[in-house]
């Protein structure tokens, strides 16, 4: 009855066990499943955004006559129109477009780093990781500026019904529109920013390991690939966040 | 820097290994921060049993109130302190009791305790793996669960009491600390604890899924997997996709509670004062909550589907009836579980058309559920049944699942639900179909796999006593609740004596409470049996149930790595029981067809 005495071979198809049917190591699979799970987290936040926004009235008047009011959801171009160094100039979505470009660039450099890992080219992995860390950090810096501008607000602010003016934004009141506009902005971009920050920390960790030759010694750069998956996911999420908050 | 540390560490170990030829783990590595899936499973089991007794005890406390509403409970004062005032249970504490009973039972016992124990224990053993894909993450999963348990347990002892908004923690009640005392610190701890719990589930879940995909032994194809593994696999996927949504809902609620946002709050007057929150929607929370909440009930029941299928087939000495139909129905149930959540919300003012869509989808679940029940009964049909304790619980599971499932068809109808919503009819329904049934599945699993866990047998006689008392008590508790519910008695009410209509049910409620106390007391027989058998039970053999699955090919007490030699290879499905022509009434999965020529079916001749 002992299995070691039989010479009979079991089935050996893709899903017959004893192999990796998806041709991915357990670590990579885990990352994929984690990302799937995280996608549901972000998905529910974006659904919350959609439903909350749907509950509020849109602005129906002339675009030129637009003013901030708690009565309607603001037009994104009128809220996000500032650019550092161009005070008072109306540059709708210019800054966020730049941020998005930077983040997409960081995805490109991440791809190059993973590709260099496949070639076991330590120098190139290092170089491209460093670029990715740099772009990721610049994105976070841009977000910090965007937030601080959003919090400070404009000189005009918003005129309330009782004659007082509101400037900037916090979690209970803001000058741009209904409280939920700022709540959701802070929450969702903040949650995404936390992901980017974690990504940068991970990148720094694997950068240090690469420099120390850990992966060269291990014989593969799979860890770079796994962090790469995460990084691309975070970029992809930004595309959705960008679409919801700035474009629609 | 870390790389040098690792390599130095390794060298030290090598030197040590060469010295005494085996690697000794110290006490902490072996029993506390163990990365061995079997130890982690037992940790989850012990924690689950502990929580089970806590949750059960809380239910006895509020059953005392419901059964004897006019009585004075001064004798509880030493235990509950100022929650008992002049011999009367504090009404807000009553709400906290039902909240914590629900939370503990659903999440800590029947999710962590059940999946944590059996997924961890059985996945590597039954698919033929040395351990989980990542032992470290597995360990982390338990210890984060432990941390979450501590936070939840601590919330029972704070001055303002634990969370009191019901286990579903609907805002605005749960969002406003000034609403009830249970929405104060207790609610904050509840949310913190649940956030940790979700992280633990995520770590466990990705491990279970990747292990099943990547670490099956040679020959263990997806259609040779025991149904237990299919069940755990699908459970893990459900958890992976639904818990993050609860995580989102909880995070938003935390912000509403602590940072002044208005995601769920709008136009609220409390104590004559208007709150500034505008624009939010409490219904939104319910959507997010039930998007988790409904898959959650399948997270609770699916593992027991697998356990019961396995135990019924083994102890009927018959192949499971409709193996592929069993897998298909579990897949169907898993898929449907994501699209029926709004049947919990028929009375929230939802568009009636939407309600009918959700009603339709909900009623479809009856089909795969009925397929499963039919298959279990067909497996039992003319089987050579051995009534082990585990088998008793398995058969009773089918009974409870039918009794509870039938009322599900009633409740799934939106028009009927309007009458029955939030009554004791609902309580009776879900306690039978996912509460008691899941508990019976869990007991079934414990009695069945105890020999593999501890190398000893549990006492069968005590098992029977435990079974009959529990089985009787469960039906005596929940059957009468249907009547009370149809009469319209609402759940979560502290006392109904103020309503003339419900006075006729006083005796029935007293009866239910007595039965509940009986059922709870019976669990101490189990506890005694469990602990006694760990140390003094009859010694088990390698394969005491003559079972086919490969965990029984390990030594009586499997060590780290499970199989001392090579991992066995699998040649056949796990249900070759009583095969005509075979020498014995079971053929383990590790036996190749070439050795069983007398019993091979025509289509199996090719494999010889």
Q: What are B95-118's pLDDT values in tens digits? A: 999 999 999 999 999 999 999 999
pLDDT above 80 (res B192): yes
pLDDT of amino acid A3? 44
A33 closest CB neighbour out of B206, B248, B262: B206
Which of 29-58 (A) contact B at CB < 8 A? 29-30, 33-34, 36-38, 40-41, 43-45, 48, 51-52, 55-56
Mean per-residue pLDDT, B40-59 = 97
Instruction: Evaluate whether B195 touches B79 at the Cβ level (below 8 Å).
Output: no
Q: What confidence tier does B22 reach under pLDDT thresholds 50, 70, 90?
A: low
Ordered DSSP codes for B49-111: HHHHHHHHHHHHHHHHHHH-TTS--GGGHHHHGGGEETTEE-HHHHHHHHHHHHHIIIIIIII
pLDDT of amino acid A165? 87
Mind listing the pLDDT tens digit for each residue in B561-580? 999 999 999 999 999 999 99
> Does a structural domain hold residue B1?
no
**Whether B363 contacts chain A with CB within 8 A:** no
Q: What confidence tier does B496 reach under pLDDT thresholds 50, 70, 90?
A: confident
Distance CA B61, CA B203 (A): 35
Closest A-chain CA to B243: A37
- Across chain B, what does the average pLDDT equal? 92
Dihedral pair phi/psi, residue B84, rounded to 5°: -105, 115
Structural domain spans, chain A: 25-247
List the beta bridge partners of residue A165: A159
**Structural domain boundaries, residue B125:** 35-263+276-383+404-600
Mind listing the pLDDT tens digit for each residue in B420-454? 999 999 999 999 999 999 999 999 999 999 999 99
Mind listing the pLDDT tens digit for each residue in B479-491? 999 999 999 889 9
B240 closest CB neighbour out of A37, A48, A170: A37
Mean per-residue pLDDT, B197-201 = 96
Whether A187 sits inside 8 A of B594 (CB atoms) is no
Measured between beta carbons, the chain B residues lying within 8 angstroms of A20 are: 213-214
Nearest alpha-carbon partner for B467 in B536, B544, B519, B537: B519
Mind listing the pLDDT tens digit for each residue in A83-96? 998 888 889 999 99
Which of 447-466 (B) contact A at CB < 8 A? none
> How many domains are contained in chain B?
1
> Does a structural domain hold residue B23?
no
Nearest alpha-carbon partner for A192 in A100, A128, A105: A100
Mean per-residue pLDDT, A188-215 = 96
- Taking CB atoms and an 8 Å cut-off, how many pairs form between chains A and B? 171
Q: Is B266 exposed, middle or buried (0-12, 13-18, 19+ CB in 10 A)?
A: middle
pLDDT above 80 (res B8): no
B501: domain CATH number?
A: 1.20.210.10
Mean per-residue pLDDT, B376-401 = 96
**Parallel, antiparallel, or unpaired for β A57-58 and A72-73?**
parallel
**Whether B350 contacts chain A with CB within 8 A:** no
Residue environment code for B243-258, b if the CB has 16+ CB neighbours within 10 A, otherwise e:
bbbbbbbbbbbbbbbe
The length of chain A is 248
Which of 97-136 (A) contact B at CB < 8 A? none
Instruction: Extract the tokens encoding B378.
Output: 């067909």
User: What's CA A85's distance to the chain center, in Å?
Assistant: 25
Instruction: Extract the tokens encoding B488.
Output: 């319209």
Distance CA A80, CA B258 (A): 28
Instruction: Evaluate whether B567 touches B217 at the Cβ level (below 8 Å).
Output: yes
Q: What confidence tier does A184 reach under pLDDT thresholds 50, 70, 90?
A: very high
Q: What percent of chain B has pLDDT over 70?
A: 96
pLDDT of amino acid A164? 85
Mind listing the pLDDT tens digit for each residue in A7-41? 567 888 889 888 899 989 999 999 999 999 999 99
Q: How far is CA B248 from CA B191, B291, B345, B567, in A?
A: 11, 11, 19, 42
> Does a structural domain hold residue B2?
no
Rounded to 5, what percent of chain A is helix, strand, coil? 65, 5, 35
pLDDT above 80 (res B6): no
pLDDT above 80 (res B3): no
pLDDT of amino acid B87? 87
pLDDT of amino acid B23? 62
Instruction: Extract the tokens encoding B78.
Output: 């030493």
Nearest alpha-carbon partner for B178 in B61, B88, B265: B265
ipTM of the complex: 0.93
Mean per-residue pLDDT, A116-133 = 96
pLDDT above 70 (res B19): no
The length of chain B is 608
Q: What is the pTM of this model?
A: 0.93
As its CATH architecture, domain A25-247 has Up-down Bundle (1.20)
List the beta bridge partners of residue B84: B89
Q: What percent of chain B has pLDDT over 90?
A: 82
Instruction: Evaluate whether B95 touches B180 at the Cβ level (below 8 Å).
Output: yes
Instruction: Extract the tokens encoding B493.
Output: 């009410």
Closest A-chain CA to B262: A180
- Across chain A, what does the average pLDDT equal? 91
pLDDT above 90 (res B167): yes
Q: Which of B129, B249, B275, B279 to mutate to test the interface with A (most CBs of A within 10 A)?
A: B279
Whether A178 sits inside 8 A of B590 (CB atoms) is no
Q: What percent of chain A has pLDDT over 90?
A: 69
> Does a structural domain hold residue B16?
no
Half-sphere exposure of A243 (CA within 13 A, CB side): 8
């Amino acid at each position: 009855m002992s299995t070691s005495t039989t010479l009979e071979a079991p089935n050996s198809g893709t899903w017959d066990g004893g192999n990796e049917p998806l041709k991915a190591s357990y670590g990579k699979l885990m990352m994929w499943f984690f990302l799937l799970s995280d996608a549901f987290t972000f998905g529910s936040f974006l659904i919350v955004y959609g439903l909350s926004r749907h509950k509020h009235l849109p602005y129906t008047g002339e675009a030129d006559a637009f003013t901030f009011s708690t009565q309607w959801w603001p037009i994104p171009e009128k809220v996000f129109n500032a650019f550092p160094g161009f005070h008072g100039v109306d540059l709708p979505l210019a800054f966020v477009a730049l941020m998005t470009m930077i983040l997409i660039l960081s995805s490109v450099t991440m791809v190059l780093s993973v590709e260099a890992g496949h070639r076991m080219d330590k120098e190139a992995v290092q170089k491209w990781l460093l670029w990715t860390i740099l772009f990721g950090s610049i994105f976070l810096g841009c977000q910090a500026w965007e937030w601080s501008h959003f919090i400070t607000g404009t000189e005009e602010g918003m005129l309330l019904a009782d004659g007082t003016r509101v400037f900037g934004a916090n979690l209970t009141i803001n000058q741009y529109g209904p409280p939920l506009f700022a709540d959701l902005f802070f929450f969702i971009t903040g949650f995404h920013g936390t992901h980017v920050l974690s990504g940068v920390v991970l990148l720094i960790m694997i950068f240090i390991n690469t420099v120390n030759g850990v992966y060269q010694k291990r014989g593969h750069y799979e860890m770079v690939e796994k962090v790469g998956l995460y990084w691309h996911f975070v970029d992809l999420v930004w595309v959705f966040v960008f679409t919801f908050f700035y474009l629609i | 820097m870390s790389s040098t540390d690792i390599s130095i560490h390794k060298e030290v170990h090598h030197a040590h290994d060469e010295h005494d030829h085996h690697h000794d783990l110290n006490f902490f590595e072996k029993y506390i921060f163990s990365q061995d899936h079997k130890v982690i499973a037992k940790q989850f089991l012990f924690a689950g049993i502990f929580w089970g007794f806590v949750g059960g005890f809380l239910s006895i406390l509020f059953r005392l109130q419901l059964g004897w509403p006019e009585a004075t409970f001064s004798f509880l004062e030493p235990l509950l302190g100022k929650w008992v005032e002049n011999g009367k249970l504090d009404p807000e504490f009553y709400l906290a009791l039902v909240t914590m009973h629900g939370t503990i039972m659903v999440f800590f016992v029947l999710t962590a305790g059940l999946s944590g124990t059996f997924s961890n224990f059985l996945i590597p053993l039954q698919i033929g793996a040395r351990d989980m894909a990542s032992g470290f993450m597995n360990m982390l999963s338990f210890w984060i669960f432990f941390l979450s348990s501590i936070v939840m347990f601590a919330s029972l002892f704070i001055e303002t009491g634990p969370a009191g908004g019901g286990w579903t923690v609907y805002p605005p009640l749960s969002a406003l600390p000034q609403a009830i005392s249970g929405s104060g610190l207790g609610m904050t701890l509840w949310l913190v604890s649940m956030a940790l719990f979700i992280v633990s589930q995520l770590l466990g879940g990705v491990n279970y899924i990747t292990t099943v995909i990547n670490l099956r032994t040679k020959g263990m194809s997806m259609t040779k997997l025991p149904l237990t593994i299919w069940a755990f696999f699908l459970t893990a996927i459900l958890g992976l996709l639904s818990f993050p949504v609860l995580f989102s809902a909880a995070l938003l609620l935390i912000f509403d509670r602590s940072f002044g946002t208005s995601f769920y709050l709008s136009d609220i007057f409390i104590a004559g004062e208007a709150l500034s929150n505008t624009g939010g929607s409490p219904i939104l929370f319910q959507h997010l909550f039930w998007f988790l909440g409904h898959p959650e009930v399948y997270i609770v029941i699916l593992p027991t589907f697998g356990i019961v299928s396995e135990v019924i087939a083994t102890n009927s000495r018959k192949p499971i009836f409709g193996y592929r139909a069993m897998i298909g129905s579990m897949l169907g149930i898993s898929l449907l579980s994501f699209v029926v959540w709004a049947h919990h919300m028929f009375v929230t003012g939802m568009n009636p058309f939407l309600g009918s869509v959700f009603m339709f989808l909900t009623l479809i679940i009856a089909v795969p559920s009925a397929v499963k029940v039919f298959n279990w009964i067909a497996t039992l049909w003319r089987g050579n049944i051995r009534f082990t304790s585990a088998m008793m619980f398995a058969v009773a599971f089918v009974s409870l699942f039918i009794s509870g499932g039938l009322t599900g068809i009633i409740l799934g109808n939106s028009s009927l639900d309007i009458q029955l919503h939030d009554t004791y009819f609902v309580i009776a329904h879900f306690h039978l179909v996912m509460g008691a049934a899941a508990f019976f599945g869990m007991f079934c699993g414990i009695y069945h796999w105890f020999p593999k866990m501890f190398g000893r047998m549990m006492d069968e006689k005590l098992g029977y006593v435990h079974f009959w008392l529990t089985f009787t008590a469960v039906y005596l508790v929940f059957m009468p609740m249907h009547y009370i519910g149809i009469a319209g008695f609402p759940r979560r009410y502290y006392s109904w004596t103020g309503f003339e209509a419900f006075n006729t049910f006083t005796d029935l409620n007293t009866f239910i409470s007595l039965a509940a106390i009986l059922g709870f007391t019976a669990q101490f027989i189990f506890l005694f049996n469990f602990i006694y058998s760990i140390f003094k039970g009859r010694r088990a053999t390698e394969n005491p149930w003559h079972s086919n699955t490969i965990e029984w090919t390990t030594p009586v007490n499997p060590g780290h790595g499970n199989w001392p030699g090579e991992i066995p290879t699998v040649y056949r499905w796990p249900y070759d029981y009583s095969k005509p022509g075979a020498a014995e009434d079971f053929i383990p999965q590790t036996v190749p067809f070439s050795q069983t020529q007398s019993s091979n079916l025509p289509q199996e001749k090719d494999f010889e």
